[in-house]
Amino acid sequence: MSFVQVRGVFQSYGNRPIIERINVDVAEGEFISIVGASGCGKSTFLRLLLAEETPSKGSISIDGAAPAVEPGRERGVVFQRYSVFPHLTVRENIVAGESFAAPLGRFWGARRRAALERADETLARIGLNHVAQNYPATLSGGMQQRLAIGQALTARPRILLLDEPFGALDPGTRLQMHDFLTDLRAQTGMTIFMVTHDLSEGFKLGDRVLVFDKIRWDPHDPAAYGATITYDFDARDGGIPYQLKEDTDVLETA
Amino acid sequence: MRLINRHPDRVGLVFLAAVPFVLAFIAYAVGSGMRLAINPADKLLPAPSHIARTALALFTEPDKRSGTILLWNDTLVSLRRLTLGVGISTLIALVTGLLIGLVPYIRATLSGFVAVLSMIPPLAVLPILFITFGLEELSKVVLIVIGITPVLIRDTAGRVLDIPREQIVKAETLGASSLTIALRVALPQILPRLIASVRLALGPAWLFLIAAEAIAAEAGLGYRIFLVRRYLAMDVILTYVVWITIIAFVMDRLLLTLSRRAFPWSGAGL
């Protein structure tokens, strides 16, 4: 059985359908990119995966567990903005990844010291140890997103959800973040869903690229139908179809 | 260069800030001098030197009957009422505001009620307070609480609702319970805002305090002002008014400093 199972998911707000008939199976460790035009339900789908919303119909389950009704520790998330806590230092933000699940959200004594040590290791790994005592507002956008990803992974989620995580970053920082995410994924083998506007980013990072679009379209009432998954590309090896791979000469002589 | 792009230098800043104070003082001195020239016994605008002498006496000379220095006693009594009232209001507003902002069931129950409550003119219920709580300390503290709590609650709840949804969801994915989200995510972020609201509420709090003291009290800054009004003792009244203003200003600055020291992250938003 697949790791993440999406079965017959519909979601509508009031009587306005947003997405319809979504069926996907995702294996553990896969990186799924989700692309599509604005207003095509990408972010709605991510909120459903996150269990921030529950679908009108259908179900989403992780590792055979019952469908979640609210976000929990098995799902990690990084948003485009506001993903770290502005009132905690960089170090405390990482510790929060562990301690928020404790009663009152705090560690004391030896447990706290151990968590702080682990946080320092994490910060060294994500290259933020030099700003451990700073508040997030003093960090650049790329550093804040690195911190957000590090924080999400500290909670050891089963799946990681990224909602346009690099959308607000400049192109250079974006490329650095791609390498960062690729390395991190190689280390952790995390199952990742990433919503992006950037097609090339989706194909570069993803194993699969899901395209959301509306297949039914009423010109008199554009909101009458929801979007669904129209393509499910295999994006491994740079998205080159396996037919071509066997005969790579085609590309080289072209 | 455009007017909006011209900035005064350091010396200029101090000078410009002092100008209105100096002008106000000169205007008063001139007006007082003109009246006193016509009638040396005029009590309406006493000379600045006269006020200074009175002030010195008020601050240093004990009352013949009770043996205490009345001004200091009035200050202590009033400050106790004010800090009690403002402190209680702040606590109520913090807890209620957090609950309204975070818990939909409590929001559905209380937000309309608080909105209506905040529209009751507090001074209109002052007679009720005097009847219910007596003429002692309690009714004065309760007036301040009734006067500023609803506004503080609404502001606090609004600030909790302003916390980006993303942060709350993020905390949920880290396994935080409702209590943890309240204590570790919402509470620290609304504290600086609460202090800012309390600073703004200090003005109304003084208003309610002095109103309550004017009507029924045995001591207090407001009581003294309204007592000596009968003798047209403008020198005493003006000393008290300046003194109250200084106290209020210092309280405001202290809260500002506290907010800056305790919440260094709040200066620049994320």
How does pLDDT run across A198-214, given as a tens digit for each residue?
Answer: 888 888 888 899 998 88
Give the neighbor-by-neighbor strand order of the sheet with A4-13. Answer: A16-26, A4-13, A57-62
Scanning A39-98 for CB atoms below 8 A from B yields 50, 52, 70-73, 75-77, 79, 81-87, 96-97
> What pLDDT shows up at residue A186?
86
Q: Cβ contact (<8 Å) for A77 and B170?
A: yes
pTM of the model: 0.84
Decide if pLDDT at A222 tops 80: no
Option in A87, A104, A138 nearest B189 (CB) = A87
Min Cα separation B262/chain A (Å): 11
Contact list in A for residue B263 (CB cut-off 8 A) is 87
Residue of A70, A100, A159 to mutate, testing the B interface (most B Cβ within 10 Å of its Cβ): A100
Decide if pLDDT at A223 tops 90: no
List Cβ neighbours of B57 (8 Å cut-off, separation of 6 or more): none
Chain B residue set in contact with A, beta carbons under 8 Å = 164, 166-167, 169-177, 179-181, 183-185, 188-189, 263-270
Give rounded-to-5 percent helix, strand, coil for chain B.
80, 0, 20
What is the arithmetic mean of pLDDT over A111-135? 89
Please tell me the number of Cα atoms within 13 Å of B214 on its side-chain side.
14
What is the arithmetic mean of pLDDT over B130-159? 91
At B224, is the pLDDT very low, low, confident or very high (cuts 50, 70, 90)? Answer: very high
Average pLDDT of the residues of chain B: 91
At A193 the three-state DSSP class reads strand
Decide if pLDDT at A2 tops 90: no
Q: Cβ contact (<8 Å) for B166 and A138?
A: no
At B78 the three-state DSSP class reads helix
At B40, is the pLDDT very low, low, confident or very high (cuts 50, 70, 90)? Answer: confident
Contact list in A for residue B166 (CB cut-off 8 A) is 79, 81-83
The full length of chain B comes to 270
Residue of B165, B170, B180, B265 to mutate, testing the A interface (most A Cβ within 10 Å of its Cβ): B170
The full length of chain A comes to 254
> What pLDDT shows up at residue B268?
39
* Euclidean distance between CA atoms A45 and A54, whole angstroms: 10
Q: Cβ contact (<8 Å) for B180 and A105?
A: yes
Task: Among A50-64, A89-103, A149-163, A220-234, name the one with the lowest average pLDDT.
Answer: A220-234
Query: Between B70-102 and B137-162, two packed helices, what is the crossing angle to 10 degrees?
Result: 40
What is the arithmetic mean of pLDDT over A122-145? 88
Min Cα separation A176/chain B (Å): 22
Q: Is A22 on the interface with B (CB under 8 A)?
A: no
> What pLDDT shows up at residue B155?
94
Answer for the pair B180, B168: CB distance below 8 angstroms, yes or no. no
Decide if pLDDT at A117 tops 70: yes
Contact list in B for residue A75 (CB cut-off 8 A) is 173
Query: Token pair 């818990």 is at which residue?
Result: B103
Option in A104, A136, A157 nearest B173 (CB) = A157
Option in B164, B172, B174 nearest A97 (CB) = B174
Q: Mind listing the pLDDT tens digit for each residue in B180-189?
A: 999 999 999 9
> What pLDDT shows up at residue A254?
42
Decide if pLDDT at B200 tops 50: yes
Option in B164, B176, B189 nearest A100 (CB) = B176
Give the neighbor-by-neighbor strand order of the sheet with A31-36. Answer: A75-78, A159-163, A191-195, A31-36, A208-213, A228-234
> What pLDDT shows up at residue A238?
62
Answer for the pair B209, B216: CB distance below 8 angstroms, yes or no. no
Contact list in A for residue B167 (CB cut-off 8 A) is 82-83, 85
CA dihedral B49, B51, B53, B55 (to 10 degrees): -140
Closest residue, chain B, to A161 (C-alpha): B173
Q: Cβ contact (<8 Å) for B175 and A155?
A: yes
Min Cα separation A82/chain B (Å): 6
* Euclidean distance between CA atoms A229 and A214, whole angstroms: 8
* Euclidean distance between CA atoms A174 and A96, whole angstroms: 26
Option in A52, A100, A106 nearest B169 (CB) = A52
> What pLDDT shows up at residue A253?
46
What is the arithmetic mean of pLDDT over B99-104? 94
> What pLDDT shows up at residue A244?
56
Q: Cβ contact (<8 Å) for A104 and B170?
A: no
At residue A130, φ and ψ (nearest 5 deg) are -75, -15
Closest residue, chain B, to A79 (C-alpha): B166
Q: Is A242 on the interface with B (CB under 8 A)?
A: no
Contact list in A for residue B180 (CB cut-off 8 A) is 100, 103-105
At A36, is the pLDDT very low, low, confident or very high (cuts 50, 70, 90)? Answer: confident
Q: Cβ contact (<8 Å) for B175 and A138?
A: no
Tell me what ipTM this predicted complex has.
Answer: 0.87
